[in-house]
């Protein structure tokens, strides 16, 4: 490329400098960091003219002679034209020397490069591209005479803070520090600063570019770097992968799965937990996926024995980046080579299993570190293969997973790009952050405001999927990082629309605090469609009653009273449903009071009184207990005691096998009460029905559900803490009771029969002492009928039930009741 070795990086090919190296350094040290833009301004359409039209239309008649050159120094064409406007140019037109240009780039919601609402690290560097326009303004083409093209040689770059996000505007202050020449070959030296709304975003120093003929480019010796000669950290941190097997290679199909957020499909066995993710950490998809295959991947391989990855991208003339970069001079931007390297590093971290317990986190270059980038080759339409290699120097599992590595890109055997000790980290993120419009409709209803903080729909949604401080204000900022915090379920299992009232001081964990939550009953919603009749299922009503308890626990600051993570779980309850609910009936108001709090040994137990209302009609009243527990306590739960008769019912050889997934008419006929549809149904098969068994001789039933880590409820309950809702365990018991009623044909003689959501006016009790997690295999529901009572217009059933996970009894319900009544609700 006209520059023969890394030792010549600063000055190129022994040039006669127009600005000496000392002057270059002094300029960078002494020029003021900010001043108001001056000189000519240019719009986006004018920038597009510079990229593809007659440059004299922008710069004036003095540039007309240059319009005849086939090769000119130009801004990239769309889509790689990233500057949206030029705010000013400082320097004399047509005269090479020092200069300055100011540009802005808007990060729009429809920008083609966005990944989860943010600008990728390589693309952000490319946005500082207006050094091209500045040197064009200075008349470089009058010297190049259509024979030379621009190529970046290297720079030192430092990221500051998080990557830019939608709605932000980047301002670049680009300074051309000088030129150097030897014969017709010219080099330029530059640096720039990028700020974002007043904060530093990116700094580029020691920027160097040159203008070369095709022959000079073809004769480049490439980067002289080799891993064998590189001095590396002598005592590295090399944390082990968290999966048993790191995949040794990946196909394009697997990479596309990873880019689409399907980590389990990408990496295979051992990565099943990723199926619970709301939004798996991923890399760019589509044309911005700059890797076609991974041909080598190892946790302890490579020349340093610390880990290695090798990727390939097939190059062909139709690659999208050739179209706009540049006119009559198609080449892949070096910034996209760097982006390919960042993608390869992200693949490496994910392949080590580091994303599995970090739902919705995202990859970004570690800020405040200076990275040295060297470019000594090019990818052009005649190139065949771009090889990207990652040489691992250090690997850190947490709390913020980080990879330190040297990066090397080789084009058809030529070392074209090298970056020394680049660091990529996996940082916390939240799905709500990339959707700024979500949760903005409170339907004109008043919301609770405490110390100026509104607990509106957006704040409620943030309690499920957003930053904890967005849900509860500054006191929860300590959880805006790696540490997890108790959450509300997320849609479609979130049944709070807003907080209407709250009484009691925020952040003070003591009895007496109260909250009123509202839930707008939708006309059409999945649970009405899935239920056997169009009434709210008991599980949904129970969640609408319990979720405000969880919210109130967070409001009083329960999680703030200890320094470690705590999981939030329901323990038991007793309640009575007084009325059924239908779609579109209005607003369900849930009143909750925290009645008791006790804390011991890192655990917190809280009791609540709950009443639910639809207008003046009381719908549900209950008392319930929740607990906050450290992860190790949840992991070591022993379950509920099991009596010999209960264990025998679980182990008894089945006398029937009814596949409910096949929708047998006896359980799904339109003329009979029906079991729910597949989303709400929590039993897959009936393994046994013994119609005369049990103490009352009324029958016993056993049903089973196979656990799939990809179940919708693991994604919804909870974000970063997947566990099956206890309410769905109780729903499984009710569905088993429904199945027993249908097997006994208790609907016979009832006009247009249907099931109530649960026995109205009847007390029900439940107890939880375990949990259903994604790694579990099977859940059994066992049920014993205790009473069948014929009523004036229907029939009432009572039962006791247990729920078992992989043989452990974890839930029980006593006095569970159900009615078959006439008439469609």
Q: Which tens digits make up the pLDDT trace of 531-547?
A: 999 999 999 999 999 99
Binned at pLDDT 50, 70 and 90, residue 205 comes out as very high
Q: At what angle do helices 457-465 and 538-555 cross, to 10 degrees?
A: 90
Asked if residue 30 has pLDDT above 60, the reply is no
- Alpha-carbon distance 737 to 723, whole Å? 24
Which residue, among 710, 666, 670, 704, has the nearest Cα to 684 in the 3D structure?
A: 704
DSSP conformation letters of 349-385: HHHTTTTTT-TT-EEEEPTT-EEEEEE-----TT--E
- Alpha-carbon distance 483 to 781, whole Å? 35
Query: Residue 214: CB partners within 8 Å, gap ≥ 6?
Result: 149
Residue 23: strand, helix, or coil: helix
Asked if residue 10 has pLDDT above 80, the reply is no
Q: Cβ distance 152 to 379 under 8 Å?
A: no
The predicted pLDDT at position 793 comes to 85
Asked if residue 28 has pLDDT above 80, the reply is no
* Residues β-bridged to residue 520: 587
- Alpha-carbon distance 485 to 580, whole Å? 33
Query: Residue 787: CB partners within 8 Å, gap ≥ 6?
Result: 696, 698, 796, 797, 798
Asked if residue 6 has pLDDT above 60, the reply is no
How is residue 38 written in tokens? Answer: 């001056």
Q: Which tens digits make up the pLDDT trace of 239-288?
A: 999 999 999 999 999 999 999 999 999 999 999 999 999 999 999 999 99
Q: Which tens digits make up the pLDDT trace of 126-154?
A: 999 999 999 999 999 999 999 999 999 99
Q: Which tens digits make up the pLDDT trace of 359-409?
A: 999 999 999 999 999 999 999 999 999 999 999 999 999 999 999 999 999
How is residue 588 written in tokens? Answer: 């369900």
Binned at pLDDT 50, 70 and 90, residue 25 comes out as very low
Lowest mean pLDDT among 28-37, 506-515, 550-559, 738-747: 28-37
Binned at pLDDT 50, 70 and 90, residue 350 comes out as very high
Mean pLDDT of 651-670: 94
**% of the chain with per-residue pLDDT over 90:** 92
Q: Cβ distance 718 to 658 under 8 Å?
A: no
Contacts 24+ apart (CB under 8 A), 635-638: 637/769, 637/770, 637/771, 637/810, 638/769
* Residues β-bridged to residue 402: 396, 425
Number of Cβ within 10 Å of residue 248's Cβ equals 12
Mean pLDDT of 690-704: 97
Q: Which tens digits make up the pLDDT trace of 63-82?
A: 999 999 999 999 999 999 99
Q: Which tens digits make up the pLDDT trace of 603-647?
A: 999 999 999 999 999 999 999 999 999 999 999 999 999 999 999
Residues forming the active site? 325
Lowest mean pLDDT among 11-25, 148-162, 311-325: 11-25
Asked if residue 7 has pLDDT above 70, the reply is no
* Residues β-bridged to residue 174: 101, 192
Which residue, among 296, 313, 328, 439, has the nearest Cα to 52 in the 3D structure?
A: 328
Binned at pLDDT 50, 70 and 90, residue 18 comes out as very low
Lowest mean pLDDT among 2-11, 59-68, 375-384, 753-762: 2-11
The predicted pLDDT at position 824 comes to 61
The predicted pLDDT at position 189 comes to 97
Binned at pLDDT 50, 70 and 90, residue 694 comes out as very high
The predicted pLDDT at position 181 comes to 85
Mean pLDDT of the chain: 94
Q: Cβ distance 93 to 60 under 8 Å?
A: yes
Segment (H or E) for 465: helix 457-465
Asked if residue 20 has pLDDT above 50, the reply is no
Determine if the pTM surpasses 0.85. yes
Residue 655: strand, helix, or coil: coil
* Residues β-bridged to residue 601: none
Asked if residue 196 has pLDDT above 80, the reply is yes
Q: Cβ distance 171 to 112 under 8 Å?
A: no
Which residue, among 240, 245, 259, 334, has the nearest Cα to 297 in the 3D structure?
A: 245
504-540 b/e (C-beta count within 10 Å ≥ 16 → b):
bebbebeeebbbbbbbbbeeeebbbeebbbebbbbbb
**% of the chain with per-residue pLDDT over 70:** 96
Asked if residue 503 has pLDDT above 80, the reply is yes
Give Rg (Cα) of the chain. Answer: 33
Residue 84: strand, helix, or coil: coil
Q: At what angle do helices 726-743 and 538-555 cross, to 10 degrees?
A: 170
Q: Give the chain's end-to-end CA distance (angstroms, integer).
A: 78
Q: Cβ distance 571 to 626 under 8 Å?
A: yes
Asked if residue 442 has pLDDT above 90, the reply is no
125-164 b/e (C-beta count within 10 Å ≥ 16 → b):
bbbbbbbbbbbbbbbbbeebeeebbbbbbbbebebeebbb
The predicted pLDDT at position 437 comes to 84
């Amino acid at each position: 490329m006209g520059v023969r070795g890394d030792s010549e990086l600063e000055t190129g090919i022994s040039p006669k400098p127009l600005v000496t190296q000392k002057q270059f350094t002094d300029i960078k040290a002494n020029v003021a960091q900010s001043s108001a833009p001056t000189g000519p301004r240019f719009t986006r359409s004018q920038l597009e003219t510079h990229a593809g039209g007659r440059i004299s239309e922008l710069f004036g008649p003095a540039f007309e002679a240059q319009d005849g050159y086939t090769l000119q120094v130009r801004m990239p064409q769309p889509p790689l034209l990233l500057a949206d406007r030029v705010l000013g140019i400082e320097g004399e037109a047509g005269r090479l020397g020092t200069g300055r240009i100011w540009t802005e780039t808007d990060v729009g919601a429809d920008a083609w490069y966005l990944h989860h609402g943010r600008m990728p690290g390589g693309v952000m560097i490319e946005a500082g591209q207006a050094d091209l326009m500045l040197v064009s303004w200075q008349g470089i083409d009058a010297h190049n005479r259509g024979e030379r093209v621009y190529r970046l040689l290297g720079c030192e770059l430092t990221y500051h803070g998080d990557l830019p996000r939608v709605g932000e505007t980047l301002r670049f202050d680009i300074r051309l520090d000088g030129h150097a020449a030897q014969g017709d070959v010219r080099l330029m030296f530059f640096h720039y600063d990028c700020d974002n709304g007043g904060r530093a975003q990116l700094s580029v120093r020691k920027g160097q570019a040159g203008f070369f003929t095709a022959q000079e480019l073809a004769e480049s010796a490439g980067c002289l770097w080799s891993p064998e000669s590189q001095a590396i950290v002598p005592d590295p941190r090399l944390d082990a992968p968290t999966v048993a097997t790191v995949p040794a290679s990946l196909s394009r199909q697997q990479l596309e799965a990873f880019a689409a957020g399907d980590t389990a499909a990408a990496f295979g066995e051992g990565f099943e937990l990723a199926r619970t993710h709301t939004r798996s950490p991923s890399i760019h998809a589509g044309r911005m996926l700059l890797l076609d295959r991974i041909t080598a991947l190892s946790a302890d391989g490579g020349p340093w024995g610390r880990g290695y990855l090798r990727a390939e991208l097939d190059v062909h003339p139709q690659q999208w980046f050739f179209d706009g970069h540049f006119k009559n001079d198609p080449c892949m931007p070096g910034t996209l080579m760097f982006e390919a390297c960042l993608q390869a590093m992200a693949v490496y971290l994910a392949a080590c299993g580091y994303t599995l317990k970090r739902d919705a986190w995202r990859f970004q270059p570690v800020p405040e570190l200076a990275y040295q980038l060297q470019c000594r080759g090019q990818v052009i339409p005649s190139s065949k293969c771009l090889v990207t290699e990652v040489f691992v120097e250090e690997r850190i599992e947490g709390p913020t997973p980080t990879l330190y590595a040297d990066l090397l890109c080789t084009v058809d055997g030529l070392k074209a790009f090298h970056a020394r000790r680049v660091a990529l980290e996996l940082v916390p993120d939240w799905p709500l952050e990339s959707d700024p419009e979500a949760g903005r409709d409170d339907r004109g209803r008043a919301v609770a405001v405490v110390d100026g903080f509104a607990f509106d729909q957006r704040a409620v949604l943030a309690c499920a999927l957003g930053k904890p401080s967005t849900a509860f204000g500054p006191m929860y900022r300590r959880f805006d990082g790696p540490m997890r915090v108790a959450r509300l379920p997320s849609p479609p299992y979130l049944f709070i629309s807003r907080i209407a009232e709250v009484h009691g001081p925020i952040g003070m964990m003591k009895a007496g605090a109260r909250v009123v939550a509202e839930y707008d009953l939708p006309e059409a919603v999945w649970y009405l469609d899935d239920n056997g009749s169009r009434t709210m299922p008991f599980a949904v009503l129970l969640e609408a009653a319990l979720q405000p308890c969880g919210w109130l626990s967070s409001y009083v600051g329960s999680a703030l009273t200890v320094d470690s993570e705590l999981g939030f779980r329901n323990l038991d309850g007793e309640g009575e449903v007084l009325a059924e609910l239908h779609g579109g009936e209005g607003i369900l108001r849930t009143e909750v009071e925290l009645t008791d709090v006790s804390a011991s040994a890192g655990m917190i137990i809280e009791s609540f009184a709950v009443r639910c209302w639809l207008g003046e009609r009381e719908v549900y009243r209950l008392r319930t207990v929740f607990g906050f527990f450290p992860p190790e306590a949840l992991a070591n739960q022993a379950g509920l005691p099991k009596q010999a008769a209960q264990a025998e019912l679980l182990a008894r050889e089945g006398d029937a096998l009814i596949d409910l997934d096949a929708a047998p008419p006896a359980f799904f006929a339109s003329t009979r009460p029906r079991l729910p549809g597949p989303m709400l149904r929590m039993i897959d098969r009936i393994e046994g029905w013994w119609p005369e068994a049990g103490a009352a001789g009324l029958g016993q039933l056993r049903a089973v559900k196979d656990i799939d880590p990809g179940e919708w409820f693991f994604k919804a309950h909870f974000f970063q803490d997947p566990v099956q809702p206890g309410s769905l365990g109780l729903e499984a018991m009710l569905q088993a009771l429904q199945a027993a009623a249908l097997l006994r044909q208790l609907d016979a003689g009832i006009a247009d029969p249907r099931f109530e959501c649960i026995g109205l006016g009847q007390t029900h009790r439940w107890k939880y002492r375990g949990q259903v997690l994604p790694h579990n295999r099977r859940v059994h529901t066992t049920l014993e009928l205790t009473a069948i009572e014929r009523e004036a217009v229907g029939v009432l059933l009572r039962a006791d039930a247990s729920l078992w996970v992989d043989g452990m009894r974890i839930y029980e319900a006593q006095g569970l009741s159900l009615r078959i009544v006439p008439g469609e609700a």
